[in-house]
Amino acid sequence: MPPVIDNERCIPCGICIDVCPEDVFFGCTKKEVPRPTYPRECWHCAACIIDCPRQAIKLYIPLPMRVYTMPKEVIPYTKVDNSIL
């Protein structure tokens, strides 16, 4: 599942665009709220979440990744409201 950006909290600073190692936000400018251009390329590394100054990004980590590959203290589980998708 791709990152979900809260439009009300986001201050289009572009940090998430710059830190994403997979260019999930490719083509977005720093003057607009970013949208995942390539959502299936997201590796759930949480670089965008960690660096967001306003905590405007939520990410649902798939269960197999949470259980087997990512310690809970590194990337906390964040439930996404599916009604906005």
Beta bridge partners of 5: 57
d(CA 24, CA 37): 6
What CATH code would you report for 1-85? 3.30.70.20
* pLDDT for 1: 75
pLDDT in tens, 6-35: 999 999 999 999 999 999 999 999 889 999
Give the Cβ contact number of residue 66 at 10 Å.
16
Domain ranges of the chain: 1-85
Which pTM was predicted? 0.69
CA distances to 10, 34, 63, 79 from 6, in Å = 6, 10, 23, 13
pLDDT in tens, 30-79: 889 999 999 989 988 889 999 999 999 998 877 766 665 555 555 555 56
